Amino acid sequence: MGKFFELQFLTGHIHYLLFIVLMMTGLFIVVDKTNLVKKIIGLNIFQVSVFMFYVSIGKVTDGTAPIFPMDSNYHVDQAAMQTILYSNPLPHVLILTAIVVGIATTSLGLALIVRIRESFNTIDEEDILQIEQKMTRDDNQKYKYLLRDML
Amino acid sequence: MIFHHLILRVVTKLLVGTIILFALYVQFHGDFSPGGGFQAGVIMAVAFILYGIVFSLEAAKKVFPEWLVHKLSALGVLIYAGTGIVTMILGYDFLDYDAFSPLHPTHGQHWGLLIIEFGVGVTVTGVMVAIYYAFAGRPPCISDEEW
Amino acid sequence: MANIAHVAEHTARDLIDHLPLLQVLVPFCTAPVIVLFGSRRFAWPLAFISSVISLVISVMLMMIVREGGYISYTLGGWAPPLGIEYRIDATNAFVLMLISTIGTLVLPFAYTSIKNEIRNRDHTLLYACWMLCFTGLLGMVATGDAFNVFVFLEISSLSTYVLVAQGASKDRRALTAAYDYLIMGTIGATFFVIGLGMLYMATGTLNLADLADRIANQGANRTVRSGFAFVIVGMGLKVAIFPLHLWLPKAYTFAPSAVTVFLSATATKAALYVVMRFVFSVYNPDFSFAKNTLEIIFLPLAIIAMFSASFVAVFQVNMKKMLAYSSIAQVGYMLLGIAILNEAGLTASLLHMFNHGFAKALLFMGAGVLVLKTGGSFYLQISGMGRKMPITSGAIVIGGLSLIGVPGTAGFLSKWLLVQAALERSADNSLFLVVALSIVLSSLLAVVYVWRIFEVLFLREADVLIPSSEAPIMMLIPMWILAGSCVWFGFSTDLLYDVANQAALNLLEGSMGMSGSILNLGMN
């Protein structure tokens, strides 16, 4: 427990701490807000925090951008390659895919909100919940006699 | 016709061509500098979206009709998968670009990457413009004051 | 660069070498082709043909790997730990076969059902989405790369949200159902990615077999443990493990009938396969934390799910909703089989996956036919339909019996094995006697809710306005194929049991199970 409060430990793991703060912010927005658009924004923040987490774990101390050094003839400079320290490019590549997935999710979510707004005339979760509960009550009212018969 | 926003319209007309040119640069120079299909596709889509925002959606749809957008987004995926199928027919693994030039695998990799990145670019352009059309094409149900 | 990796002489691949990839590639290519044709007339036939092809491929794969060993397929010519690998062993092949069988059988049913429930202009894109969902589920199971699992998971999830939202033309609550599913599904998938990130931090690899090796070699540490938690919770959302099931009833109730049939029989199963893969192959259950998770968390949750979801199902007045709650309960049985942690339990779990997939698909198809005939699936609307359409209702009865686990149906076999597995464990831990008892008791609840369907269908007066006619032949054939196999697998138990047992053995070997012998496809 004592180790956690050492300054060096905190600064050395600062990106994890920030990742968790951002992640919890996003998750809190998703849970707390009743406005559907705000929920999607919260979801985005949540996802972006994960992207940042991935990008940060690809960092190698003193590493540079992972691009092959080229000589003037567009050939790989083998001599330079030996001396350069690269960051790990794989997490970046993975996150490129995840970002595209995030865009697809966001646009699909927003499209659904447009449709919800058109048919429920509101984008507030509480109102929608009330409308739906009423619909369910009406259904049960309409189709209930069987339930009573059974019991 | 819209007669206001003269400056915007003039600047847009100038910019659209440049943006498309830049998209093509990012697309085909992707193996030497940062870039590639995703970025190029988005930049290409920006050109059409900018045109649509300034000159109305109908004008944009006249340039880039909706059916074409949908077909393009499917076509790009097929270009990508088709490249893989061609390498399979040539007797290599799926997307093993060495198949295009077995004696000079580096060249094969170049060509293969160019083709699939082109496919990615086509799809991303199509999808981005399709998303814009889908949202912009909805009749507005919230008036400006309500926001 | 590339030329370094390819010094070895190249041997040409032929079609049979590509089977693991074609399994995923065929439906994947069908989706854009359907959009490119853009015609409603071509959409269904194309989807059906590619489903049949992938069914054939999955059966061929099953034939190759059913004796043990695995097939490895590398993409792009990059060797496995670095490149993406498709790795088929008996366990995948079993789940692949389930998914492609259901996918093929549902499509003939879907033709009429979708025509009835969804506007014509949406059909083309709907079938494209259907194929993408199919691809995603197959890919999740076929792939041997952890991040690839996530990508395919998202392909299937995103298309699932669209498919569920299509129910909006009948009931607008489909939209909010899809929205809720989207929020929860995305949180689940993102949790899964966080877990993968932690695994990658700790091991530096994403290949499942390589992950298994490295975790086995370096032992557990805090990163690996929290990665496990994230992966299980993330996938648990997709499986609808008990407290994470909230999206399921609404999504299944309001989705178009054909979509519900497809999802109920495949989507949760594919996710459950991923959970199994991670629990048994990547993390060896010998690790105390994995074992503790199974016994302290999975086991109670599974039993709670079995009782509470069944109990809720009893009081539903809508057949589709009742079946959705029953699905949550049945996931409990499969989870229980995993948590019992012996060979019989895992075999039972895999078998139950298969049997429940068939029985639930059959019952949801029955609900779909009733929706087609009467316009809704409320008990009041469908009452007495059993007498008006005896052939259809006969199939529903068989599905219901298999769901309960009546002797002579496939459902009996898996539940019997599950009880046996629990009794086997009770030798050293008497608590498992309670588990065995609870399996039997919760089956009694299943009797109650399935009996309500029978009662509604056969013992009630029907609405005189509804004409007495059978379902269209396109719907009857898949229903009776499913009903027939429910009975056939109930009597001829060996075939399925052997395959499931081999799959379970593969999983139980832990990380060793992923390093069996490579099968050379060219030889077959």
Which positions in chain A touch C318 (Cβ < 8 Å)?
A: 139, 143
Which positions in chain C touch A23 (Cβ < 8 Å)?
A: 194
ipTM: 0.91
Distances (CA, A) of C400 to C483, C485, C488, C522: 10, 14, 15, 44
Residue B34 in contact with residue A96, Cβ under 8 Å?
no
Beta carbons within 8 Å of B118's beta carbon, 6+ residues apart: B27, B37, B76, B79
Distances (CA, A) of C92 to C72, C460, C494: 12, 44, 19
Task: Work out how many domains chain B is built from and give that number.
Answer: 1
Q: What residue of A is the nearest CA neighbor of B34?
A: A67
Which positions in chain C touch A53 (Cβ < 8 Å)?
A: 194, 197
CB contact under 8 A, A107 and B131: yes
Beta carbons within 8 Å of C387's beta carbon, 6+ residues apart: C458, C462, C468
Cα separation, C201 vs C223, whole angstroms: 8
Residue C195 in contact with residue C230, Cβ under 8 Å?
yes
CB contact under 8 A, C200 and A109: no
- Domain containing B101 equals 6-138
Query: Is residue A26 included in any domain, yes or no?
Result: yes
Residue C505 in contact with residue C344, Cβ under 8 Å?
no
Query: Is residue B1 included in any domain, yes or no?
Result: no
Domain boundaries, chain C: 285-505
pLDDT per position in chain C (524 positions), as tens? 344 444 455 677 777 888 899 999 999 999 999 999 888 888 999 999 999 999 999 999 998 888 777 888 888 878 777 888 898 888 889 999 999 999 999 999 999 999 888 888 889 999 999 999 999 999 999 998 999 999 999 999 999 999 999 988 888 899 999 999 999 999 999 999 999 999 999 988 888 888 888 888 887 788 888 999 999 999 999 999 988 999 999 999 999 999 999 999 999 999 999 999 998 888 877 776 777 778 888 889 999 999 999 999 998 888 999 999 999 999 999 999 988 888 888 999 999 999 999 999 999 999 999 988 888 888 888 888 888 888 999 999 999 999 998 888 888 988 999 999 999 888 888 888 888 999 999 999 999 999 988 888 888 877 777 777 888 888 899 999 999 999 998 888 888 888 888 888 888 876 555 555 566 554 33
Cα separation, C145 vs C522, whole angstroms: 23
Backbone angles phi, psi at C106, to 5 degrees: -75, -30
Cα separation, C354 vs C409, whole angstroms: 13
Fill in the DSSP letter of residue C204: S
Task: Work out how many domains chain A is built from and give that number.
Answer: 1
Query: Is residue B144 included in any domain, yes or no?
Result: no
Cα separation, C264 vs C323, whole angstroms: 9
A70 touches chain B (CB under 8 A): yes
Query: Is residue A30 included in any domain, yes or no?
Result: yes
Residue C263 in contact with residue C160, Cβ under 8 Å?
yes
C173's tokens: 């609550």
Sign of the alpha-carbon torsion through C417, C418, C421, C422: negative
Residue B57 in contact with residue B133, Cβ under 8 Å?
yes
Q: What residue of A is the nearest CA neighbor of B133?
A: A111
Query: Is residue A108 included in any domain, yes or no?
Result: yes
Supply the pTM of this predicted model.
Answer: 0.92
- Domain containing A118 equals 2-57+89-123
CATH number of the domain encompassing residue A111: 1.10.287.3510
Beta carbons within 8 Å of C273's beta carbon, 6+ residues apart: C91, C92, C95, C140, C141, C353
B143 touches chain A (CB under 8 A): no
Q: Nearest-CA neighbor of A146 among C453, C252, C324, C403?
A: C453
Beta carbons within 8 Å of C20's beta carbon, 6+ residues apart: C61, C71, C73, C86, C87, C88, C142
Mutation for testing the B interface, residue in A103, A108, A119, A124 having most B CBs under 10 Å = A103
Query: Is residue B96 included in any domain, yes or no?
Result: yes
Picking from C147, C190, C379, the nearest residue to A94 by CB comes out as C147
